[in-house]
């Protein structure tokens, strides 16, 4: 049986499995945002950075190799992950008290997990108008972290190509594929996979936001690191109830 | 308790800048533990004492962000006088609700609120010299002064505030884990 050593613990893996997949199967949490077990990994958020045989790599994209020594839950890596979170927080407008995703949000849950007490950096306060044109779904771009899960879901699962990223560097942002740029002018529907995958509070079902009160939500009840086994339904929250 | 009582009490100051006093209300939510606290702490400037200026203190608790010139004066007074400065609540930490105006033009905001908004007759933008001038953007306090500790939450619960203060007073590194660490 081939194994990797994750923080000293031997984990078996099958050929072709990534470090993330081997860890998830063993119930061990590696922080992540753009990774989703149902989608091809792209390794863009870098939250899952681990040290494999001494080198920093993305756990969601690197295939496990027999005998590989992987460092995951260490002060060094968690410091770097916390800094990445802080940069994500200041780049957007992540005002949790006004967000209906609060308590079900992976960004927030990871900030709790990694004990991020302050955004530390200077706030950007970008101007990102919301798109409330669609009858069933609100788009609040203020919270977008560019994980591309909605892009991938709409393109690869729904076959609709409703979302895309546009611009480069710090100007990169999420756009809607319609001449008007409005979600109402696409064939997007609440039944789409893309409506279910947002790890933060960008894609929100209307008139459902507070069906479960704040304080009784997914990550209010149990920290994100304790919920590894139910990863496939990670963004469910209110939709499932 | 004997050694603490024999030694000097810790001096604590609190204030609200661009905040709603919700964090102060939550501070009062430590309820009867306030009796334990005043065994160990003397209050300096605070809404609880109505002392107007901060003297030399051990701990300063700041609620609210910085939205006008007076906030900056008060914040700097606290930083000058407090050995340990703590940002408490979402507004002090990331600007919070007042910072939701940051993507708008301040001049246009004032125009709309005081002159052109619905139902306004004979309006005027307040310009009394006693009023502190608003800043064009609302800032978290760590963008203005050095901040030693942060207690997130909107507001942080009484339990979170108590845990944090008792850790600090006991000489431990203050730590808020699940479920005390909350941003909402």
CB–CB of B183/A97 below 8 Å?
Answer: yes
pLDDT at A229: 63
Q: Do the domain assignments include residue B161?
A: yes
Q: Do the domain assignments include residue A160?
A: yes
Domain range spanning residue B91?
Answer: 2-102+134-169
Q: Which CATH number does the domain housing residue A230 bear?
A: 3.30.70.20
Domain count for chain B: 1
pLDDT at B6: 54
Q: Do the domain assignments include residue B162?
A: yes
| pLDDT 10s digits, A15-48 | 999 999 999 999 999 999 999 999 999 999 999 9
CB–CB of B140/B78 below 8 Å?
Answer: no
Domain range spanning residue A156?
Answer: 97-236
pLDDT at A122: 97
pLDDT at B96: 97
Q: What is the mean pLDDT of residues A192-202?
A: 97
Stretch 145-174 of chain B: residues touching chain A, C-beta under 8 Å: 147, 149-152, 154
Round to the nearest angstrom and report the end-to-end CA distance of chain B.
35
Is it the case that residue A233 has pLDDT exceeding 60? no
Is it the case that residue A236 has pLDDT exceeding 50? no
Domain count for chain A: 1
A92 has a chain B CB within 8 A of its CB: no
Is it the case that residue A239 has pLDDT exceeding 90? no
pLDDT at B8: 85
Is it the case that residue A14 has pLDDT exceeding 80? yes
B139 has a chain A CB within 8 A of its CB: yes
Relative to beta strand A49-52, strand A55-58 is antiparallel
pLDDT along chain B (184 residues), means of 10: 64 98 98 96 96 96 98 98 98 97 95 94 94 97 98 98 97 94 96
Among the partner-chain residues B102, B150, B178, the one whose CB lies closest to the CB of A118 is B150
pLDDT at A230: 45
Is it the case that residue A232 has pLDDT exceeding 70? no
Q: How large is the ipTM?
A: 0.93
Scored b (16 or more CB within 10 A) or e, B96-128 reads bbbbebbeeeeeeeeeeeeeeeeeeeeeeeeee
Contact A112 B181 (CB under 8 A): yes
CB–CB of A203/A210 below 8 Å?
Answer: no
Is it the case that residue A143 has pLDDT exceeding 50? yes
Q: Which residue has the tokens 């947002």?
A: A198
Q: Do the domain assignments include residue B151?
A: yes
Q: Do the domain assignments include residue B118?
A: no
Q: Do the domain assignments include residue A39?
A: no
Distance from CA of B150 to the nearest CA of A (A): 6
pLDDT at A1: 87
Q: Do the domain assignments include residue B113?
A: no
B84 has a chain A CB within 8 A of its CB: no
Give B159's contacts (C-beta < 8 A, 6+ positions apart): B30, B180
Is it the case that residue A237 has pLDDT exceeding 50? no
Q: Which CATH number does the domain housing residue B61 bear?
A: 3.40.50.700
pLDDT band at A212 (very low <50, low <70, confident <90, very high): very high
| pLDDT 10s digits, A84-97 | 999 999 999 999 99
Distance from CA of A59 to the nearest CA of B (A): 25
């Amino acid at each position: 049986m081939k194994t990797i050593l994750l923080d000293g613990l031997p984990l078996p893996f099958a050929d072709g499995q990534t470090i993330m997949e081997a860890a998830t199967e063993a119930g061990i949490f590696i922080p992540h945002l753009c990774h989703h077990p149902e989608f091809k990994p792209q390794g863009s958020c870098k939250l899952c950075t681990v040290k494999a045989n001494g080198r920093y790599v993305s756990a969601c994209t690197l295939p496990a190799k027999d005998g590989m020594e992987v460092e995951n839950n260490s002060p060094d890596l968690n410091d770097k992950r916390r800094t990445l979170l802080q940069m994500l927080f200041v780049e957007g407008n992540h005002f949790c008290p006004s967000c209906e995703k609060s308590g079900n949000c992976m960004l927030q849950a990871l900030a709790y997990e990694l004990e991020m007490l302050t955004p530390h950096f200077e706030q950007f306060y970008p101007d990102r108008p919301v798109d409330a044109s669609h009858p069933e779904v609100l788009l609040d771009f203020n919270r977008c972290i560019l994980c591309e899960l909605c892009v991938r879901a709409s393109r690869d699962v729904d076959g609709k190509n409703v979302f895309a990223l546009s611009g480069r560097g710090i100007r990169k942002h999420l756009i809607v594929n319609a001449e008007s740029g409005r979600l109402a002018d696409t064939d997007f529907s609440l039944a789409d996979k893309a409506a279910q995958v947002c790890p933060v509070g960008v894609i929100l079902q209307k008139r459902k936001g507070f069906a479960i009160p704040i304080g009784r939500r997914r990550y209010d009840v149990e920290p994100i690191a304790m919920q590894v086994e139910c990863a496939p339904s990670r963004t469910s929250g209110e939709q499932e109830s | 308790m004997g050694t603490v009582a024999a030694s000097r009490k810790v001096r604590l100051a609190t204030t609200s800048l661009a905040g709603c006093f919700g964090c102060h209300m939550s501070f009062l939510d430590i309820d009867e533990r306030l009796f334990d606290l005043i065994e160990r702490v003397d209050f300096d400037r605070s809404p609880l004492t109505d002392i107007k200026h901060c003297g030399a203190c051990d701990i300063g608790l700041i609620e609210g962000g910085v939205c006008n010139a007076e906030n900056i004066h008060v914040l700097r007074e606290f930083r000058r006088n407090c050995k340990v400065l703590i940002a408490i609540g979402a507004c002090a930490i990331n600007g919070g609700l007042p910072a939701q105006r940051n993507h708008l033009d301040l001049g246009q905001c004032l125009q709309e609120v005081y002159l052109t908004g619905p139902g306004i007759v004979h309006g005027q933008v307040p310009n009394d010299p006693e009023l502190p001038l608003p800043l064009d953007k609302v800032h978290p306090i760590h963008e203005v002064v050095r901040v030693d500790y942060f207690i997130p939450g909107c507001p942080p619960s009484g339990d979170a505030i108590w845990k944090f203060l008792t850790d600090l007073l006991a000489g431990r590194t203050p730590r808020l884990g699940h479920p005390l660490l909350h941003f909402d």
